[in-house]
Amino acid sequence: MRTQLGSSARGAERVAELLSASRRAVVLTGAGVSVPSGIPDFRTPGKGIWEKVDPMEVAHIDVFRRDPDRFWRFYGERFAMLGGKRPNRAHEIVAELEERGLVRGVITQNIDRLHRRAGSRNVIEVHGSIETCTCPECGARVRIERILELLERGVRTPECETCIRPLKPNVVLFGELLPDRAMADAYALASEADLMLCIGSSLEVYPVASLPGVTLDAGGRIVIVTQGPTPYDREADTKLEGDVVAELEAVLDALD
CATH of the domain at 4: 3.40.50.1220
Q: Do residues 186 and 151 share a domain? A: no
- Long-range contacts (CB closer than 8 Å, 24 or more residues apart) made by 187-193: 187/211, 187/214, 189/26, 189/104, 189/105, 189/107, 189/124, 190/26, 190/28, 190/107, 190/214, 190/215, 190/218, 191/215, 191/218, 192/24, 192/218, 193/24, 193/25, 193/26, 193/104, 193/218, 193/220
Among 155, 171, 187, the domain boundary falls at: 171
Q: Do residues 138 and 18 share a domain? A: no
Q: Do residues 151 and 35 share a domain? A: no
> What CATH number is attached to the domain comprising 135?
3.30.1600.10
Nearby residues of 206 by Cβ (< 8 Å), 6 or more positions away: none
Q: Do residues 49 and 30 share a domain? A: no
- Which residues are catalytic, by number? 127
Q: Do residues 206 and 218 share a domain? A: yes
Domains contained in the chain, number: 2
Q: Do residues 197 and 242 share a domain? A: yes
Among 143, 171, 199, the domain boundary falls at: 171
pTM score of the predicted model: 0.90
Q: What confidence score (pLDDT) does residue 42 get?
A: 57
Amino acid (one-letter) located at 93: I
Q: Which residues span the domain enclosing 94?
A: 1-39+87-127+177-256
H or E element that contains 28: strand 25-29
CA distance to 113, 160, 232, 242, per residue, from 190 (Å):
21, 37, 15, 25
Q: Do residues 69 and 120 share a domain? A: no
Q: Do residues 186 and 251 share a domain? A: yes
* pLDDT by 10s per residue, the chain, length 256: 444 443 577 899 999 999 999 999 999 999 999 999 998 765 555 554 545 656 667 789 999 999 999 999 888 888 888 878 899 999 999 999 999 999 999 999 999 999 999 999 999 999 999 999 999 999 999 999 999 999 889 999 999 999 999 999 999 998 998 989 999 999 999 999 999 999 999 999 889 999 999 999 999 999 999 999 999 999 999 999 999 999 999 999 999 8
